[in-house]
Amino acid sequence: GQQLNQSPQSMFIQEGEDVSMNCTSSSIFNTWLWYKQEPGEGPVLLIALYKAGELTSNGRLTAQFGITRKDSFLNISASIPSDVGIYFCAGNSGYALNFGKGTSLLVTP
């Protein structure tokens, strides 16, 4: 599969701080998506991006589809304890959705 490089691998922050994570690839993707996984559950879609340059928000979350179509970032503003989980980027090429290795986020009150 196509390699997605997601960073950082983990983050340990205080409640109220902003968070930024990103994903890069050597390949072009048609779609970028961001998922969140909580312990014992499957990933849940947060944001889907369909066009190069697209900037989309979902509450405190904002994500952008890079102009080159090879990267994307996710920002979380004013983090809260329930933001804890693993965040995955994913890129679509045809019928295969390729996932990054995830960013583990811990938020302390």
Q: Which residues bind another protein (CB under 8 A)?
A: 1, 4, 6, 30-31, 33, 40-45, 48, 50, 88, 92-102
Q: What's the min distance (Å) between Cβ of 60 and another protein?
A: 21
Give 31 or 75: the residue with its C-beta nearer to another protein: 31
Residue 71 CB-half CA count within 13 A: 11
- CB count within 10 Å of CB 80 equals 12
Q: What's the min distance (Å) between Cβ of 61 and another protein?
A: 16
Helix (H) or strand (E) holding 40: none
